[in-house]
Amino acid sequence: MADRPEDLEREYERFVEAAAEDDDMLGLVLTGSRGRGVFVRPDSDWDVRLVVREETAEGSRSRLTTPRGSPVEVVVLSLSEFEYRA
């Protein structure tokens, strides 16, 4: 687990780079304090909603979802799930 602010940012950057190369990914939304740009502390985590293709949602969910409390908290949503919540 990353402890220092620069380690948290590096972990987020690595995740974004890997997600960008994933053919199943349609989009990434940064939420939480960092996404809103308010109340961000150096130790704030990165809350990510990863939007993926319908047909690969379950596989992507099992591969990419991270537990609450992780430095990069990832929730995977299919496109239809994202549209429903938007």
Q: Which domain range does residue 62 map to?
A: 5-85
pLDDT, tens digit, 9 for 90 and up, residues 53-86: 999 999 999 999 999 999 999 999 999 999 999 8
Confidence (pTM) = 0.87
The helix/strand/coil state of 60 is helix
pLDDT, tens digit, 9 for 90 and up, residues 14-35: 999 999 999 999 999 999 999 9
Domain count, the chain: 1
CATH code (residue 42): 3.30.460.10
For residue 68, CA distances in Å to 26, 41, 42 come to 23, 18, 18
- Expressed in percent and rounded to 5, the helix, strand and coil fractions of the chain are 45, 25, 30
